[in-house]
Amino acid sequence: MKTVSFRDGHTIPALGMGSWNVGDATATRAEEIASLHAGLDAGLSVVDTAEMYGSGRSERLVGEAIRGRRDDVFLISKVLPSNASYEKTLRSCEASLDRLGTDHLDLYLLHWRGGVPLEETVEALTHLQNRGMIRRWGVSNFDTEDMQELDELGADCAANQILYNLEARGVEFDLLARDKAAGIVSIAYSPLGQGGTLLDDPVLIDIAKSHETTKGPASPAQIALAWVLRQPNLLAIPKAGSRVHMRENIAALDLVLSKEDQTRLDAHFAPPRSKTPLEMI
Ligand code: NDP
């Protein structure tokens, strides 16, 4: 399986599992947990959640899904910028650990940049790391200039979670290369597009027709995922609310896009020619 390595040498699979909008409805809960179990069974250890998602409902569902198998999981959660002061960061982390039913996170991210000085949040994250409550920390939705500021603080940031898919390619201009050169893992969120627009795209549908996976004919979602996963040392975290979607996404790991596919995709979803501000949702 394709992997991603952190600067500290820790290695994880390049495909992980998102969990935004899970745990919100009783009717879908069992299937959402079964989907995460299917991913864990296949060796996808990374689960991404956040205190924001469903005001803790996602963390509670993830906590239920990983009970008894914490050692199989690389757990990511996030602190909201409104909770990113020194004291509130410590309290947010404790509350996330409580909802997740664990004593540590493998990666803790500042969800996006807010009004609290970076230095103060970094101090809190470093304190959590020293206490063993988080193994490493990172950021999310940070553009090149924000990363530069972190650098100037001498901060030991492990990852930057960003919007990256065929429709949002701006980060290819400089951010992806910058983070890679610094040994910072890029984590691509919403790899299937915002609102699933990529799934109906005629070019993706057509390219999918020319590929087979071990589980049968390829789908547009698999093409979109394979395209994101072509980037070196990048983790993609699609959210699959069902076992069918989870298994389909796992099979995308085996899919290799041809040069011709990539040229068609570049013609349809143009790569950036200049710096554009980082997009986020
Ligand atoms: P995704 O790109 O993962 O798309 C999720 C949607 O695609 C869901 O509707 C899902 O449906 C559907 N889907 C998944 N697999 C398939 C498939 N094989 N075929 C067809 N449809 C499929 O979007 P998200 O916005 O959820 O992003 C992924 C994760 O990234 C989030 O869950 C969250 O963990 C993280 N995130 C982080 C952000 C940040 O600011 N740091 C912002 C946004 C997301 P279904 O549920 O029915 O499977």
Mapping DSSP onto H, E and C, the string for 5-34 reads: ECCCCCEEECECECCCCCCCCHHHHHHHHH
Encode pLDDT of 5-26 as tens digits: 999 999 999 999 999 999 999 9
- Residue ranges covered by each domain of the chain: 3-196+228-255
pLDDT for res 213: 82
pLDDT for res 135: 98
pLDDT over 70 percentage in the chain: 100
Classify domain 3-196+228-255 at the CATH superfamily level.
NADP-dependent oxidoreductase domain (3.20.20.100)
Give the predicted TM-score (pTM) of the model. Answer: 0.98
Question: What's the whole-number mean pLDDT along residues 216-235?
Answer: 95
Cβ of 140 closer than 6 Å to ligand 1, yes or no, is yes
pLDDT for res 113: 97
Task: Compute the distance from residue 193 Cα to the ligand 1 centre, in Å.
Answer: 8
Task: Annotate 83-145 with DSSP letters as a single string.
Answer: G-SHHHHHHHHHHHHHHHT-S-BSEEEE-S--SS-HHHHHHHHHHHHHTTSBS-EEEES--HH
Q: Which atom of ligand 1 is nearest to the CA of 140?
A: 41
Cβ of 141 closer than 6 Å to ligand 1, yes or no, is yes
Q: Say what the ipTM of the complex is.
A: 0.99
Over 80: is that where the pLDDT of 196 sits?
no
Encode pLDDT of 57-112 as tens digits: 999 999 999 999 999 999 999 999 999 999 999 999 999 999 999 999 999 999 99
Report which protein residue has its CA nearest ligand 1's atom 34: 18
Residues acting as catalytic residues: 53
Task: Compute the distance from residue 192 Cα to the ligand 1 centre, in Å.
Answer: 7
